[in-house]
Structure 1
Amino acid sequence: MSETQIRAVDVAAATEQAHVLAQALPFLRRYAGATVVVKYGGHAMGEDSLAQQFGHDIALLKQVGINPVVVHGGGPQINAMLKRLAIQSTFIDGLRVTDAAMVEVVEMVLAGTVNKHVAELITNAGALAVGICGKDGAMIRARKLTRTKQDPDSRIEQALDLGFVGEPTSIDVRVIHALTGGGLVPVIAPVGIGTDGQTYNINADTVAAAVAGALNATRLLMLTDVAGVLDKDKRLIQSLTLADVQARIADGTITGGMIPKVENCVEAVRQGVKGAVILDGRVPHACLLELFTAAGPGTLIRR
């Protein structure tokens, strides 16, 4: 290839880059100074190339004037550690039953290994990230989660004991504001603390929704392992109102594990988040596509 041909290719590539930037500019203006909470987990966390892209995407958000706050899960990592320690794990309705021995492992993995790895991904990409958990500064106050299940024979509601599984009662945003105000990206492990000092394992989706609501975030992005909310023909539903969500649950369109995800999004929107999006974390640069293009890849839930 001659020098002239190389230059022509370079100009064509530069023109395409300029076109992309021009299209993204209105969205950059829209989100300038905004807070975006991102729940990170699932396949996107387990695959190295997607993990690296995630780190770069979050760093980019910070560099263009957005305040990203990351809440992460870590179920597979917890399972791997429990297996190494020969600790049996059981689930009820998708929630891990967490006894005293297990809650120590959960805290060690979530607030330790996983938390620092996620922060490292973002820092290596050019933005300073700090890993914290809900116990730091008593940021996430929690109480024991209560669940009931109906006995199929007697139809009597029975209480389920999930051990040290909790739910947030309050979010103290001062630690988060101190970090974002100092130019840092908070990376939050979903471990909370009770009024008695007890440690609680909390579902990461629930924490992300609670944090987004407390921060009055512009967007809550829930990265998951499916395209978003699908209709009965398995086609992506691009937008839902709060009323739509209830109707789709009632008619059986939204089922199984998607129900708690959309319910967390609904709760976040009710608390003041302008929009919550369930999107496929397996799609490269899913967060950037959602925020900086007209047709985001996920399902937007709004008022």
Structure 2
Amino acid sequence: MKLLKPIPKKPKARIKLDKGSASKQRQYNQKFKVLSEAIPYVELYNGQVVVIAIEDSIIANNDQLKLFAEDVVLLKRAGINPIIVHNAEHGLKNFFERMKITYETHNGQIIVNKRNIELVEMVCSASVNKAIVTAINDAEGMAIGISGKDGKLIEAKKSKIISRNKNNVDQIVDNTYAGDPIMINPSILAPFEESEIIPVISPIGYNEAVQAIYLESISIASCIASSIAASKLIVMSNHNLFIDEEGKVIEEMASNEAVKYIEKFDTHLARKLQMAISTVDYFSETVHFVNSNIMHGLVFEILSDERPGTLVFSTVAEL
């Protein structure tokens, strides 16, 4: 019996490209990979609201501000609705020092009182806020600056700071014009979801008892994200907050793990981060902590598989 030999397989046809075309093909392949990753996320978050809290140290760096503005405009064009909230600590300190105005601090934060509240409000809304709005508009977006006092967007309460003096005696710090947000008027923000305009919110709240209340960006962003059930809350700072023992960024954490992790931070920072993390357990889907030094880190955090920051997810749903 004659054994049949297997029919040899024909080699697959290969397209030969010259060096120039081969180089372009590699570029196309890379771009295809990026698009294939991004499009599902664009579809997933289309029409969703993302609240972004940024430190104004980003604004002091022209390159970082430009990249941030480009990222925000790209997200808006992708159908995602960003709401930006900023602080003004860096801008305030620079202004006071440049104008040779004395000021006091507590835990690194400027004490805001009757003597300087008008200047604080001016720097927040007319200087820092305007810089962000201008950068977004220069990136071919449409942004508008809003104070928390406009339309009573942010109702705030005064906070008391108890500090221990040199004699080890507790005393109340005169910080009567700084505090925390207690209520958001979502009707002011709702129209922006149906428009091309990106709102940039200044950290000033209203209070019937005083002229204005100076607020922190993370507390405002957390309050807004909770009140409108935003899809994501993103906290941008100029360093990585969550790193492991090897110095690598922790990509994902459960909210209960994140709360334990921040216990090692100073009280002031831990309190702010606690507010952000709490939103994910009851209102927002996820909270992200992103290093602003990473080029286009904001876009990659939302629209790619390889996130440069730390994502915190809820553990409440698992109970």
TM-score by length of 2: 0.85
Q: CA deviation at 1:158?
A: 4.1
Matches within 5 A, 1:136-215: 136-149=150-163, 158-196=171-209, 198-215=211-228
Deviation per residue, 1:210-266 (Å, 9 max, x gap): 11111211111111121231245543222222321333345x3x4566413421212
Structure 2 CA distance for partners of 1:46 and 1:10, relative to 1, 3 Å: same
- 2:255 aligned partner: 242
Query: Alpha carbons of 1:17 and 1:257: their partners in 2 closer, same or farther (altered >3 Å)?
Result: farther
SS in 1 for 2:240: coil
Displacement after TM superposition at 1:167 (Å) = 0.9
Q: Are 1:266 and 2:280 an aligned pair?
A: no
Structure 2 equivalent of residue 16 of structure 1: 30
Question: Relative to 1, partners in 2 of residues 1:271 and 1:119: Cα closer, same or farther, differing over 3 Å?
Answer: farther
**1:226 corresponds to which of 227, 230, 239:** 239
Structure 2 residue 59 is the aligned partner of structure 1 residue 45: yes
1:171 corresponds to which letter in structure 2? I
What letter corresponds to residue 280 of structure 1 in structure 2? N
C-alpha separation between the residues in 1 aligned to 2:165 and 2:300?
45
Partner-residue secondary structure (3-state), 1:168:
strand
Q: Does 1:216 align with 2:246?
A: no
| Distance (Å, rounded) in 1 between the aligned partners of 2:287 and 2:186 | 19
The more displaced of 213-222 and 178-187 is 178-187
CA distance in 1, matches of 2:77, 2:122: 31
- What residue is the counterpart of 2:291 in the other structure? 280
In structure 2, the residue matched to 1:292 is 303
Task: Note the alpha carbon deviations across 1:103-126, whole angstroms, 9 max, x for none.
Answer: 111111111121122112112222
Q: Distance in 1 between matches of 2:282 and 2:211?
A: 26
Deviation per CA, 1:129-170: give whole Å up to 9, x if none. Answer: 11111011110011111233467977x754333231121010
Q: Are the structure 2 counterparts of residues 209 and 84 from structure 1 closer, same or farther at C-alpha, using a change threshold of 3 Å?
A: same
Structure 2 residues not aligned, in runs of 5+:
1-17, 315-319
Determine the C-alpha separation between the residues in 1 that align with 2:249 and 2:64. Answer: 22
Q: Is residue 42–residue 223 contact of structure 1 (8 Å, CA) maintained in 2?
A: no
Distance apart, 1:70 and its partner CA: 0.6
**Cα distance in 2 between the residues matched to 1:32 and 1:105:** 39
Secondary structure at the aligned position of 2:293 is classed as coil
Looking at structure 2, the residues matched to 129 and 270 of structure 1 have their Cα atoms a distance apart, in angstroms, of: 30
Instruction: State the match for 2:68 in structure 1.
Output: 54
**RMSD across aligned positions (CA):** 2.3
Corresponding position of 2:121: 107
Structure 1: which amino acid aligns with 2:309? Answer: G
CA contact (8 A) 2:58 2:64 kept: yes
| Identical-pair percentage | 23
| Contact 1:265/1:277 (8 A) holds in 2 | no
Report the CA distance shift for 1:109/1:75 in structure 2 as closer, same or farther (over 3 A).
same
Checking the alignment, whether the CA contact within 8 Å between 1:239 and 1:301 is kept in structure 2 is yes
**How far is the alpha carbon of 1:43 from its aligned partner?**
4.2
Q: Residues of 2 paired with 1:273 and 1:150: CA distance? A: 37
Which sits farther off after the overlay, 41-50 or 57-66? Answer: 41-50
SS in 2 for 1:185: strand
Distance 1:140 1:31, change over 3 A: same
